[in-house]
Amino acid sequence: MTSRRPLLAALLIALTAMAIWPSGAWSAEPKPKPYRIYMALWRGWEEAAQGFKDYFTNQNIPVELIIRDAGQDKSKLKDFVAEAKRLEVDLVFTWGTTVSEEMLGRLDTVAADKHITEIPAVFAIVSQPLGSMVKDFASSGRNITGTTYLVPTETQANLIQSYRPFKRLGVVFNPLERNAQVAIGEFSEVGAKAGFEVISRSVDLVDGKPNPASIPAKVAELKKAKVDFLYIPPDTFLNVNRDILTGAALEQGIPTFAAGENPVLTSKAMFGGVYRYYTVGQLTAYKAEQILVHKIKPAEIPIDAPKRLSIIINMPVVRQLGLYPPMKLLGLAEVIDPTEGKGK
């Protein structure tokens, strides 16, 4: 409903314009001043950024996007903060946990000189915003709002159970990243109630950096521990090395479930239950619209996830494992099957 109003306004302006300048005067049509949005990205233009941009196009909201990519370099983010302030943009969009925490500040570290505080901001693809970025999902308590993109742990566990009942869930994780450990903790809690066990192995550190080469050995260890499923947590290191991880799992014959879409879409994870980045981007843009067009304070806009869960099944992997999905899940799922030439 709310989204229709700007559309009508635009239509009205267009009609009025046509009435005043009946012919050949289209160049004189006054364009409403576009909203200026500073988009700070972590690893280039991807689906969430596209969804964010497309929303404004589809809703006919004029925006001027100032796009900056940190290229996974944390040091650039200080300059981004300064630039956004200098340009006096209307809104800042931050992508990912690192960008959002560095530019908007954590609850405990936020400072007006180092972070963006005056300009309203929306964040997306932040794994664990609660407690670090926001006080409460109902209200950030700050001049920011945003979206979450992780499916609740219990939903994920149920999803795996609905594929095949399991007793042991294996996880390989990077000890330097917090996200995976939070996920492991939550899964253990759910498992205690639902009756499954979580078995985790951290990758080896070499010179204080996680070593991708150690991943296959960890997966083999999990195989020995007789895990039924391998869970791929939302973890940047694992995301980058997803081919090694999922390849090792497939070699060991362990089915994999991914909390993010990349391991399923572009690698060899068997299936995943995710909110698509594109949808998350659109939802984030909707919240930006609330702030820019409807002048609602960011603190009054709840932080939530898209309503629709996407179940993605990687059919070549399924066939290789011979572990076929139940009919009901298959009916709901988006099937990735490049060999058959049908993506859906």
Partner 1 sequence: MTLDHTRPLFIRLLLLAFIVLVPPVGLLAHGALGEFARGLVPEMDKKAETVGRDLASSIERAIGYGIPLDKLQGMDEFFAPVLAANREIRYLAVTDRDNRILFINGAMPELLTPYFSVTDFEGGGSRKSLIGDFVNLAQPLMSKGVVVGHVQVGLDQDYVQSRLMEIAVDIGVMTLCSLLVSVEILLFIVTFNVIGPIRAVSTVMDRVRRGDFGYTCGVISDDEVGRFVHGFNGAIRHVDGLFRRLEAYMDEIKTAHFDKTVVGRVMDIEARVRFLFRFSRTGQPEVINEHQATDIRLPLFLFVFAEEMSRSFMPLFIRDLYTPSTGLDQEMAIALPIAVFMFFIAAVSPSAAMISARKGSRRVFLIGLLPATVGFFMSGLADNVFDLTLWRSLTAIGYALVTMACQSYIAQAAQRESRAQGLGVYVGAVLTASICGTGIGGVLAERVGYRATFVLAAALSVVAGLLIYRLMDAAQPKAEPLSPRKREFLALLRNWRFFALVTFAAIPSKIALTGFFFFLVPLTLLQTPGYDLGDIARIMMMYPISVVLLSPLAARLADKMGWKAGLVAVGGLIGGFGLLLPVLSGDFNVLGVSIALLGVSHGLSASPQLAIIPDICWTECRNMGQTNVLAFLRLAERVGSVIGPFLAAAFIPIYGISGAVIALGAVVLGMSVVFALLSFAYGSGPHIEAELAE
Cα atoms in the Cβ-side hemisphere of radius 13 Å centred on 328:
5
Is residue 117 within 8 A of residue 274, CB to CB? The reply is no
* Smallest separation, CB 250 to partner 1 (Å): 16
Shorter beta-carbon distance to partner 1: residue 121 or 315: 315
Shorter beta-carbon distance to partner 1: residue 220 or 323: 323
Binding residues for partner 1, rule: CB under 8 A, are 315, 318-319, 322, 324-331, 335, 337, 340, 342
Shorter beta-carbon distance to partner 1: residue 74 or 319: 319
Shorter beta-carbon distance to partner 1: residue 208 or 331: 331
* Smallest separation, CB 324 to partner 1 (Å): 5
Backbone angles phi, psi at 211, to 5 degrees: -105, 115
Separation of alpha carbons 174 and 212, rounded Å: 10
Contacts of 44 (CB under 8 A, 6+ apart): 69, 71
Least Cα distance to 159 among 48, 313, 263 occurs for 313
Tokens for 191, please give them: 């498992």
Separation of alpha carbons 91 and 112, rounded Å: 16
* Smallest separation, CB 162 to partner 1 (Å): 8
* Smallest separation, CB 323 to partner 1 (Å): 9
* Smallest separation, CB 165 to partner 1 (Å): 11
Separation of alpha carbons 273 and 280, rounded Å: 14
End-to-end Cα distance, the chain? 31
Q: Which single residue is written with the structure tokens 């909203």?
A: 35
Is residue 204 within 8 A of residue 236, CB to CB? The reply is no
* Smallest separation, CB 255 to partner 1 (Å): 13
Shorter beta-carbon distance to partner 1: residue 135 or 319: 319
Shorter beta-carbon distance to partner 1: residue 228 or 337: 337
